[in-house]
Chain A
Amino acid sequence: MDISQVLFYALSAMALGSAIMVVISRNPVHSVLWLIITFFAISGHYILMNAQFLGIVNLIVYAGAIMVLFLFVIMLMNLNAETEPQKNKWLKLAGVVAGGCLLLVLVAALKQAEVKGKVAMLETGDIGLIRNLGKALFTDFVVPFEISSILFLSAMVGAVVIGKK
């Protein structure tokens, strides 16, 4: 077991564990903090796959900007364990059963998936380097790249329409 495998398992355990904690923490602020740890673990995975740019952007945008916004909103709304709405016990049970069924079916189906045994390229792949990413973005994927600007523009217009009194 070399160092990258050790790192892979450690990061995976961290990502899964903190993701579960996001869901089961009773305090919303704790949930957000656990979510930040999840993002860090996933960024670690990106870097393991030699996708440094994606890893850093994930940290800056998600763990940095968006999570701070989340924290602000939650603190302003002053949510805590007491104000959490009481959910019906049967509803919770139904949710667990439905989610469990989906998990079971997906795991059972994808157990025999065609990619089993093929591992992602570690250390050697270079598609995630900024130079290659930029080239792909401005040659093969230039049309979706430009069209996504319409998406952002419409979202901005919408934010102003909704936000203005």
Chain B
Amino acid sequence: MNAIVISAVLGVVMMFCGVFTNSKPAVRFVAIIGLLGLLIANVLDMGGYHFFNVNVNGMLAFDIFGLLFNTIAFAATWIYFLLSGRDMERVGVNLAEYFALIFFVLCGIAIVSAFNSLLMLFLGIEIISIPLYILTGSDKRNLKSNEAALKYFLMGAFSTGIMLMGITLLYGAKGSFNMEVIRSGTTTLTPMLAAGLLLLLFAMSFKVSAVPFHFWTPDAYDGAPTVFTSFMATIVKVAGFIAFIRLFEGCFGEVHKQWQLLAAIITAATLFIGNITAVFQQSVKRMLSYSSIAQAGFMLFALVAMNETAKEGLIFYAAAYSLATIGIFAVLLKMKDYTFEGFNGLAKRQPVLAATNTIFLLSLAGIPATAGFWAKFYMLSAAINNGNVMWLVIVGVLCAAVSVYYYFRVIQAMYFKDGEPQEIETSRGFKGLLIVIAAVVVLLGIFPHWLINQLYSFFYL
């Protein structure tokens, strides 16, 4: 509850910041300090210090899985603020409002990681989505940004409608929004439950951009201001997965066998289409949005496998994927040309940027000794432990091999091609922070057991 209340209050604080000061560094400073406070409050919540004792009537359930994810999401957002906060100023004049909207999104994330009632799921997903539509369209003079926002809004509203229809059918079948009530006594899928399950599956696949519901993703991510694409493609997307797995484990965990094949087919299609289409992109930004679809395919493994390994793996994946992608976007933001050619010869001019970017790309590709390798490893081992979906593991490994191609194209452009890349001035602090993140990615890759042991100590306290 700490996270939900404090993030909402921080959103309001940021709005007042916009009223009382015009100084952009001050606004950014308040946001960074506020987010640090939110992170600490959430960690205290994990340790048993609850600031607010609210009777939630079974609407929310704060378990360690959700709180742990909140910690990772807030920490990733904090790093994102430090790295890219300065770039938000270039989008438009409403800096304080952008920060306020991001805090509202974080409030939504805290809700979807703790919901215990379908009503709260709906509210949480909407609180995440609506600020994102606005952030997508925040570059008001750019036609592409407007188009992306409208497309994202229409698609998002439509998928929310499908989700509500699914919730309605579940309510009709069970007479309650509560997940425990829906779960209890569900040993076979009756027609109404099955219809509700399918509609919810489709709607959630929309939100996490799984194939065949991914068509909005490249346009929305490509059109949105790059600094907000970074936030949308990492923290928000992973939060969608937390909601997805929480919903399906909470409501339909008992009948997992009956929908596992369907989820596996969606996963395989997501891996395949995401990776193959990413190969043909000419713009790094668009390649990254297809790569986010491909990475979504790996995160879907958690849904297919649905065991303890999968849940721990998803947390690990969330950390590894968010850190690496935020880093890549931070470097991308400094480039003037977003095509692959724009990166030609970057290693000579900016060795630090090129080296850290290489580590992040290697991590996304899943090369050993980076965090991304272990993230993929845990996902695949969860699917192997499950035992029913060996063919999916093979598809996953093959697609990971395909992904190496397009990640290495950027590395090749940076190191082995000559060119005069155009980049924006970078500060020393920015480079230092990039090195720290790259070091964390490598450390997690060499000692993954450190984080996993922390997870174990939380899970089995």
Chain A: residues with CB nearer than 8 A to chain B?
Answer: 106, 109-115, 139-144, 147-148, 150-151, 153-155, 157-158, 160-162, 164
Contacts and interface: CB of A to CB of B under 8 A. Distances in A.
B94 A161 contact: yes
B101 interface: yes
B190 A141 contact: no
Interface stretch (B81-89, B129-137, B307-315, B412-420): B129-137
B123 A106 contact: no
A164 B97 CA distance: 12
Contacts of A140: 57
Contacts of A162: 134, 137-138, 140
Contact of A161 (B12, B97, B119, B123): B97
Contact of B54 (A111, A114, A143): A143
Contact of A144 (B11, B119, B131): B119
Q: DSSP majority for the B interface?
A: helix
Contacts of A158: 101, 130-131, 133-134
A161 B130 CA distance: 13
A144 B134 contact: no
21 contacts: A106-B195, A113-B173, A113-B190, A141-B59, A142-B57, A144-B59, A144-B117, A144-B120, A150-B104, A150-B107, A153-B12, A155-B130, A157-B15, A157-B97, A157-B101, A157-B104, A158-B133, A160-B97, A161-B94, A161-B97, A161-B138
| Range class of the B interface residue count | 35 or more
B140 A150 contact: no
Nearest to A142: B57
Given A153-B12, A153-B104, A161-B101, A143 B60 contact: yes
Contacts of A157: 11, 15, 97, 100-101, 104, 131, 134
A161 B134 contact: yes
B24 to A, nearest CB: 16
A109 B15 CA distance: 49
Contact of B123 (A113, A114, A151, A153): A151
Contacts of B134: 157-158, 161-162
A148 B130 CA distance: 12
Contact of A151 (B12, B98, B126): B126
Given A110-B195, A143-B54, A143-B56, A115 B172 contact: yes
Contacts of A155: 130
Given A109-B194, A151-B123, A158-B133, A114 B101 contact: no
B235 to A, nearest CB: 16
Interface in B303-325: none
Contacts of A113: 172-173, 190-192
B127 A110 contact: no
A114 B57 CA distance: 28
Contact of B111 (A111, A141, A147, A161): A147
